[in-house]
């Protein structure tokens, strides 16, 4: 189990397009992936659940990975959380 | 009798034609038990697969018609078809509760739709329509229905619907659909965004009244004004038809100008640039044929957040804008905070007179930590395009020299750290304080360019707050005294070989443009939407004539007289 907090810098928050990239990547990993924002924890492989988090710019989110390739998933997905997607 | 219905302007233009009403069909399955749960799961999976195939077809045709970017929404839809929190949940319910697939699908989709509709972000609320679009597609497949009602349209018409899904909108046949009107929606709805990129007139959020229209009703959709005219009389119809022709003519002219240089009738070349406040404005800038970014107001990067943006965050934003402009000039103004723009987390002392207080560069020089972080981000981003750095609110030379000194120190430091920095970064200053305008010749040898910030310059010159209704009449961009000051700056720049631009609202004001041209302004920076009309206007003007007429304007005694001069000269040409 790995967990780390990230700050979203994407100016439009973390919505449709960044979520699409995130979920596609997340789905390639065998481990479980959870994203927590404002106290709500959802499945990081579900784009709909990720949307319901309504993650805004400058918000902090917690990324947890658990299982096979958890370390690699944490690194790859953590990077996506802190990128600018426009 | 003619009636009119008011809605939200989603995409401009005028459409005239008969209504084609798509009745809202709300299919709500009842909770029914399935005979064989396993067979039901298989049936559901087949429906999902069929929906996936349909979506792929729509995605490919959208790429062809509207480009990769507009098709991205369908990739998001395809992702919904694989969403474990939707699909797995539905399959579990079919198995565990023994219900039919239609019921399980409706329940699961509605739970997301409800959650999204209640979110406080409008963009996210709009996403509920995506879920309904995808769920509706699976539902149609389950019920053995193919295609949408839209494919049955044969005659030219204006579509009237409760709402149009993104896939509906992307598939509209522009040869027969003249425009559309929806009951729900906003300017940021996907149907509105799609309509703008298709260039089709559209009104959204027109309310219940549009659903009482019947197919065949004659309509006029004046989309820019959000107005729907039902059964217009012959006279009204003729007026709208004329307006439509004028609009189409104008559009054709403007579209032709998008990739053209800005030249006057007598072949004098000027530059039209865009003002931006954030990277979200970039698409608009590119769509409107801007030749440069004349002002990037960086303070918005600092606002609406709990703490200062890091060097890295700023670097990413500047890099993004520079790359998008593909080598065209980008003037980035260093932080202009204070005045009416506050940053709560900096806990700046309250000032009695913030517009005359420690704002913009004055604050940056007092807080070099803040300033240096921004300069480092700018310098590092410089290798991604043609960066020009501009300092705001300079009154005296020592301020400019100090700012340039700090910039030089950061440049040397970064080079020492092994960073790449472009070696041709122009440095300029904003002219918004009367002392700097009158004394422009003092600064000119030390900068590459001036950009006149008329919004503040006019307020300081007239000693009048334009937001204060009691004195806002004093905000007179075309007053001879303002024009004289602009001329002083342009002349000082010309003597020392530095170019002069303007980034205040005056630069995009059609009444001021001929005068500024005549005074010799080189770069006009304005909101992106004003660029194409300005390019069209400039193409009709004669530089030589306006040199003479703006000289005449300088000798007049009121703004009123100047405006009358402009009106008479532009009409007679």
CATH number of the domain bearing residue B57: 1.10.274.10
Smallest Cα distance from A24 to chain B, Å: 8
> Which residues pair with residue B289 across a beta bridge?
none
Tokens representing B433 are: 């304080």
CB neighbours of B246 closer than 8 A, spacing ≥ 6?
A: none
A66 neighbors A31 (Cβ within 8 angstroms)? yes
Residue A20 lies in a domain: yes
Q: Is A56 on the interface with B (CB under 8 A)?
A: yes
- The domain that holds A60 is classified in CATH as 3.30.1340.10
Smallest Cα distance from B427 to chain A, Å: 27
- Which DSSP string corresponds to B499-560? EEEE-SGGGG-TTTHHHHHHHT--EEEE-HHHHHHHHHHHHT--HHHHHHHHHHHHT-SSHH
Residue A86 lies in a domain: no
> Could you say which of B112, B124, B320 has the minimum Cβ distance to residue A54?
B124
Identify the domain containing residue B552 by its residue range. 262-572
Return the closest-CA partner of residue B90 out of B51, B53, B48.
B48
Q: Among B142, B164, B191, give the residue marking a domain's end.
A: B142
> Could you say which of B76, B119, B306 has the minimum Cβ distance to residue A58?
B306
Q: Does the beta-carbon distance from A86 to B279 stay under 8 Å?
A: yes
ipTM of the prediction greater than 0.90, yes or no:
yes
Q: Among B142, B166, B183, give the residue marking a domain's end.
A: B142
pTM > 0.80: no
Tokens representing A58 are: 């400058």
CA distances from B101 to B43, B47, B52, B55, B107 (A): 8, 10, 17, 20, 10
- Examine the domain organization and report whether B425 and B555 are in the same domain: yes
Q: Determine how many CB atoms are found less than 10 A away from the CB of residue B108.
A: 23
Q: How many residues appear in chain B?
A: 573
Residue A56 lies in a domain: yes
In chain A, residues with a C-beta closer than 8 Å to the C-beta of B306 are: 58
Q: How far is A41 from A39, CA to CA, in rounded Å?
A: 7
What is the tally of structural domains in chain A? 1
- Write out chain B's pLDDT in tens, 573 residues: 688 999 999 888 999 999 999 876 678 898 989 889 999 999 999 999 999 998 998 898 888 877 787 788 888 899 999 999 999 999 999 999 999 999 999 999 999 999 998 888 777 887 888 898 899 899 989 988 765 667 678 889 999 998 888 778 877 888 889 999 999 888 767 788 778 777 799 999 999 999 889 889 999 999 989 999 999 999 999 999 999 999 988 888 888 899 999 999 999 999 999 999 888 778 889 988 999 999 999 988 887 777 889 999 899 999 999 999 999 999 999 999 877 677 878 888 888 888 899 999 999 999 999 999 999 999 999 999 999 999 999 999 999 999 999 999 999 999 999 999 999 999 999 999 999 999 999 999 999 999 999 999 999 999 998 778 888 899 999 999 999 999 999 999 999 999 999 998 899 999 999 999 999 999 999 988 889 999 999 999 999 999 999 999 999 999 999 999 999 998 754
Identify the domain containing residue A17 by its residue range. 2-81
- Examine the domain organization and report whether B289 and B431 are in the same domain: yes
Known active-site residue A15: yes
Q: Among B106, B122, B142, give the residue marking a domain's end.
A: B142
Interface test with A, best of B82, B276, B280, B308 (most A CBs within 10 A): B82
Q: How far is B282 from B293, CA to CA, in rounded Å?
A: 10
What is the tally of structural domains in chain B? 2
Interface test with A, best of B276, B302, B304, B313 (most A CBs within 10 A): B313
Residue B554 lies in a domain: yes
């Amino acid at each position: 189990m790995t967990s780390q907090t990230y700050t979203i810098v994407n100016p439009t928050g973390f919505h449709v397009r960044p979520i699409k990239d995130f979920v596609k990547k997340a789905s390639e990993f065998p481990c479980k992936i959870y994203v927590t924002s404002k106290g709500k924890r959802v499945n990081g492989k579900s784009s709909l659940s990720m949307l319901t988090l309504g993650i805004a710019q400058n918000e902090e989110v917690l990324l947890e990975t658990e299982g096979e390739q958890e370390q690699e998933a944490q690194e790859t997905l953590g990077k996506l959380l802190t990128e600018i997607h426009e | 009798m003619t009636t009119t219905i008011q809605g939200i302007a989603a995409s401009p233009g005028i459409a005239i034609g008969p209504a084609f009403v798509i009745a809202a069909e709300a299919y709500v399955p009842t909770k029914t038990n399935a005979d064989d749960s396993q067979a039901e799961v298989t049936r559901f999976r087949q429906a999902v697969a069929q929906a996936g195939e349909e979506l792929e077809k729509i995605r490919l045709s959208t790429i062809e018609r509207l480009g990769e970017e507009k098709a991205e929404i369908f990739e998001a839809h395809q992702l919904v078809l694989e969403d474990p929190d939707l699909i797995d949940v539905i399959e579990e319910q079919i198995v565990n509760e023994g219900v039919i697939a239609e019921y399980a699908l409706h329940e699961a989709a509605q739970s997301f739709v409800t959650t999204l509709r209640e979110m406080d972000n409008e963009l996210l609320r709009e996403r509920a329509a995506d879920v309904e679009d995808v769920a509706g597609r699976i539902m149609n497949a389950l019920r053995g229905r193919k295609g949408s009602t839209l494919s049955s349209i044969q005659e030219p018409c204006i579509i009237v619907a409760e709402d149009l899904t993104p896939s509906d909108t992307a598939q509209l046949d522009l040869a027969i659909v003249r425009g559309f009107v929806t009951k729900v929606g906003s300017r940021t709805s996907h149907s509105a965004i799609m309509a703008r990129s298709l260039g089709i007139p559209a009104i959204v959020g027109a309310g219940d009244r549009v659903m009482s229209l019947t197919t065949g009703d004659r309509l006029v959709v004046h989309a820019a004004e959000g107005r729907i005219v039902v059964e217009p009389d012959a006279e009204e119809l003729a007026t709208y038809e004329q307006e439509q022709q004028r609009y189409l003519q104008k559009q054709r002219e403007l579209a032709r100008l998008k990739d053209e240089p800005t030249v006057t009738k007598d072949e004098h070349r000027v530059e039209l640039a865009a003002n931006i406040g954030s990277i979200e404005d970039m698409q608009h800038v590119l769509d409107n044929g801007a030749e440069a970014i004349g002002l990037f107001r960086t303070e918005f990067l600092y606002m609406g957040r709990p703490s200062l943006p890091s060097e890295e965050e700023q670097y990413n934003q500047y890099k993004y804008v520079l790359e998008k402009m593909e080598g065209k000039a980008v003037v980035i103004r260093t932080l202009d905070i204070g005045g009416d723009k506050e940053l709560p987390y900096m806990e700046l002392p309250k000032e009695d007179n913030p517009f005359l207080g420690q704002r913009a560069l004055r604050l940056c020089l007092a807080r070099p930590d803040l300033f240096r972080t921004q300069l480092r981000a700018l310098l590092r981003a410089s290798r991604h395009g043609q960066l020009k750095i501009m300092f705001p609110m300079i009154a005296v030379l020592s301020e400019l020299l100090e700012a340039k000194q700090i910039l030089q120190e950061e440049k040397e430091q970064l080079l020492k750290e092994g960073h790449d920095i472009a070696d041709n970064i122009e440095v300029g200053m904003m002219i918004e304080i009367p002392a700097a305008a009158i004394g422009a010749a003092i600064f000119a040898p030390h900068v590459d360019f001036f950009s006149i910030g008329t919004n503040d310059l006019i307020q300081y010159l007239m000693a009048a707050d334009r937001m204060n209704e009691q004195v806002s009449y004093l905000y007179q961009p075309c007053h001879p005294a303002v024009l004289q000051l602009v001329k002083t700056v342009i002349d000082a720049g010309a003597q020392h070989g530095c170019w002069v631009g303007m980034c205040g609202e005056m630069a995009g004001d059609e009444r001021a443009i001929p005068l500024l041209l005549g005074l010799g302004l080189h770069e006009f920076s304005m909101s992106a939407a004003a660029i194409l009309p300005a390019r069209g206007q400039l193409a009709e003007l004669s530089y030589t004539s306006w040199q003479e007429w703006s000289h005449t304007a300088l000798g007049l005694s009121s703004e009123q007289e100047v405006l009358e001069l402009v009106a008479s000269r532009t009409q007679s040409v």
